Structure 1
């Protein structure tokens, strides 16, 4: 028996193209001698469909697409993720489901049992959990068909399982001989290597059955799916793994499995790949061809531009330098050099005259008052207006360049440098931005060395540096990770060896700037806890932990 794992990149709601792709992979699998081809969770609709699931016509279109896919399965069987209607007179209207298709007929439908409602997941909002769990029969085997979260609840692997029931244990008790898990599991740095793969190998070894895991790939909104679909033997050994961050079709001979080489990546390589894929898919799936970026000569805009050029091609990236009287000549030269290294077109539009006009207009209102953050933010908002004007006129997607560290503490300007269509680095801490820069420069200098070595500065007033108001980024990022990703309290962070005054100041800034983050452009998730849908804090609250 040969089983193909079809790791595909779908677009939410694009039923025609999703169906065409699924049928194409069915034919490819058949041509490679596969008896069965398995697709990811919600392959028909794309993942995550969110509130589209509340629209009846969306569900109907998904079922029509499944009918078309079913007709494509001549001479081969398939397991396809889709949305099924709940036929019971109670509960949510739909199920997250897998259709088991044989000989152009749906022979069984398997519903997802465990519905995650944490981090970026909100599935219990929409789906009814499975009422029954059972294996599917195929070529003398009992296939334990499960869907994503169903496999994330083993009581031996997890210190505290989230659910009372374990669907995999139930399938094994019904004599399942192969465990199949169709998934849409988003990327986070080191998640696959340290959590997902060890969990999958543990289950295979525990139950002494082969395990086939099929994950989707590509980007949808802020989520990137890394693929890494896996075949694991009954001893818990990884025998094959599909490409990371790429579409792939992997055929496994279940009787005579061949050990295939598995490519390993460093954490920063995976983050780099995730950002490249996330930007490419967000741009294309939203209908944009070109992006525009404000270039300051600093590290953040340099890394953003380098990622964009690699993701989209240099011809599709436009850099805009908007110097003021506070911009250093070296910063202008660094931005020009970066553009030349990347072979991207760039424009220089000075904001000095516009800023002076603003100051003159506001002079009567600000009479006798010193230059402060008001004038600093004016410059950021002038730049935003210019770059948004270019976006409107030419149809560019604006990429903001702020990083997670700045967004966390509010070191950014609302309606200024925060304005744009995608915040590419919004889940990348500043220290990781430097890691990305070094990785981008691994073969030759692309990002100017001066952009990497000079002290970070917004250059909104004379002799301004980030560390005037922030601790070093090594300290800041460690505290932010402890507070945001690890949910440690102030006392625990202080016990890590940090100065109490610094800790309290940082946490105060994080808490008071939730209103800014609520208005930020969407960003690509790469850490275990990103701002946005994965971290839902009230804007107004008085709790300090």
Structure 2
């Protein structure tokens, strides 16, 4: 299946570093033509080229030569014809003589015309830089247009380029050093509406500058809630005193999407699909952005062709909540654990309690909650025996899960009680006239509520707190019993999605334990997710597997992140999921579980409207006191209608 980038709010941006000869404009133009052809083959819609790429950045006093200036303008007109040939938006750099001054400019070219010229504002003039010798700052402009072949071309730093029929795409330009200034012009342009910021640059390479440049580009994209593309001059520039590496980057809201190879004499190109629709939505929900004063700008319309693609040029991780790489995993897991344990420790200090009660089942969630409680008690210098772990075997409990719960409690040195619930639940069935052979929702929820009652009452006996074990994914799907496992006195896992819970338990096994404790934790991680409310199968194994009923948690966590954190509509979620899970789930399977997700997410909001306290961990949280406010009786029909149309 192919997708329209425009309908999904995406633009494919390319950053290019062409092979270059200083002052050889014909050669440089030929290299740009070849690079533009490559960009068109990769279905790029916008191609950003380096600063002064038509002449070379390091021309020095040759910039004063009228022949060089005139030839650069002729090459600019050739680029205009090239833009029409490839239906490509080009941004290129050249020197521009205007009103007796020379300016270092970026030109935006589309549909066979030069739409505007943006001069550089901040001219570096220290260390290796001497730009003020040749160029004037944009502040010295005395005209706001330039005549090129009989046409008046807008000139200035107040230009915004707006794509016709695509409101999310608005381009702002700044040049090289402008980004390194205390207050880059891109900030003002972003507040005024620019979602795609383009910077033609010539940044010489010195030790350590690559990492700083990455940080600068990514940070500015995050600060501006924008996509930021940066194209830098390559090794073809003069090596008299400096070396240029051609380090070009594309970032979106703090995340690097693509970069070119450095130190290559051949032309380099990198592409990425930037999500401008997402950035618009981020700005709508960001009060600081909304409060920032906009400035007067001139909006110049241009035509941006739409393209269709089967594969998106951007990373789409199938597990957006889970860190990639061992190093990142260790850092992220330690941070999550610190947030969870600090939240619980603060609550214990406030209540003056040295007792907590946790229902342990031998499953992932209760194991993580128990590990958090142990770390919190250790931080506060409290005796671990004050952690009362209670395992409550019922109709669905297996030998494997009960054994793991009991072993882990013993190995961690916490107190353990075994309280069977069969008799109490059967008495309750007799009281309400429930047939034990009828394995309906009453059969299941009665067990969950009996367990919660035990936990609450034991907590009262001890003067302690009941620690909730339910995770973020269960809350999103409503996969919890109202006033059963849904309720606690402090819920440490409410900000942790299921895919991350498993990751955290495995991480704890590897970094904090050895021997039998590690083996038990790994076995818990390998146990199928189940509430164990229905009887085991004939082999005594878990008969009720959650993911067979509600769907794979890796899919639901993907849906949750994109629907709640990024506010994507179903069509966009399906398109991205198709790439993220290619070869693992067919499109119709993903679509089916997506429908389940939306039905459950809307119908189960009433459970999230009365959640107990618990710490926010990541960028998605469903607490009614935090990031997510939703009426419990909101209609889901709008989203289901779109899903049905996708089928």
TM-score under structure 2 normalisation?
A: 0.44
Residues 67-106 of structure 1: matches in 2 within 5 Å?
none
Note the alpha carbon deviations across 1:41-65, whole angstroms, 9 max, x for none: xxxxxxxxxxxxxxxxxxxxxxxxx
Per the alignment, residue 341 of structure 1 pairs with 411
Per the alignment, residue 361 of structure 1 pairs with 431
Taking the aligned partners of 2:218 and 2:387, their CA distance within structure 1 comes to 35
Per the alignment, residue 119 of structure 2 pairs with none
Per the alignment, residue 392 of structure 2 pairs with 322
Per the alignment, residue 432 of structure 1 pairs with 500
| 1:418 to partner: Cα distance | 1.4
Taking the aligned partners of 1:274 and 1:162, their CA distance within structure 2 comes to 37
- C-alpha RMSD of the superposition: 3.1
Per the alignment, residue 464 of structure 1 pairs with 544
Taking the aligned partners of 1:382 and 1:264, their CA distance within structure 2 comes to 37
Per the alignment, residue 338 of structure 2 pairs with 273
Question: Gaps spanning 5+ residues in structure 2: where?
Answer: 1-182, 194-216, 225-327, 379-383, 536-542, 579-586, 640-647
Among 555, 574, 589, the residue aligned to 1:494: 574
Go from structure 1 to structure 2 and tell me whether the alpha carbon gap of 1:386 and 1:486 turns closer, same or farther (over 3 Å shift). Answer: same
Per the alignment, residue 485 of structure 1 pairs with 565
Taking the aligned partners of 1:451 and 1:346, their CA distance within structure 2 comes to 18
Contact 1:309 1:316 in 2 (8 A): no
Go from structure 1 to structure 2 and tell me whether the alpha carbon gap of 1:157 and 1:478 turns closer, same or farther (over 3 Å shift). Answer: farther
Residues 34-45 of structure 1: matches in 2 within 5 Å?
none
Taking the aligned partners of 1:459 and 1:409, their CA distance within structure 2 comes to 18
Per the alignment, residue 508 of structure 1 pairs with 599
Matched, 1:520 2:520: no
Among 448, 460, 465, the residue aligned to 2:521: 448
Per the alignment, residue 234 of structure 1 pairs with none
Go from structure 1 to structure 2 and tell me whether the alpha carbon gap of 1:162 and 1:542 turns closer, same or farther (over 3 Å shift). Answer: farther
Go from structure 1 to structure 2 and tell me whether the alpha carbon gap of 1:341 and 1:398 turns closer, same or farther (over 3 Å shift). Answer: same
Among 365, 375, 381, the residue aligned to 2:443: 375
Aligned residues: 302
Taking the aligned partners of 1:451 and 1:542, their CA distance within structure 2 comes to 38
Residues 12-161 of structure 1: matches in 2 within 5 Å?
156=186, 161=191
Note the alpha carbon deviations across 1:424-469, whole angstroms, 9 max, x for none: 1111010100111122112323553221111111110021111121
Taking the aligned partners of 2:612 and 2:569, their CA distance within structure 1 comes to 28
| 1:520 to partner: Cα distance | 1.9
Moved more, 319-328 or 154-163: 154-163
Contact 1:155 1:161 in 2 (8 A): no
Taking the aligned partners of 1:159 and 1:316, their CA distance within structure 2 comes to 57
Per the alignment, residue 490 of structure 2 pairs with 422
Per the alignment, residue 388 of structure 1 pairs with 456
Matched, 1:531 2:596: no
Go from structure 1 to structure 2 and tell me whether the alpha carbon gap of 1:300 and 1:369 turns closer, same or farther (over 3 Å shift). Answer: closer
Question: Gaps spanning 5+ residues in structure 1: where?
Answer: 1-152, 164-192, 201-262
| 1:371 to partner: Cα distance | 2.3
Per the alignment, residue 365 of structure 2 pairs with 300
Per the alignment, residue 634 of structure 2 pairs with 541
Taking the aligned partners of 1:284 and 1:194, their CA distance within structure 2 comes to 39
Q: Secondary structure at the match of 2:438?
A: coil
| 1:397 to partner: Cα distance | 0.8
Go from structure 1 to structure 2 and tell me whether the alpha carbon gap of 1:458 and 1:155 turns closer, same or farther (over 3 Å shift). Answer: farther
Per the alignment, residue 60 of structure 2 pairs with none
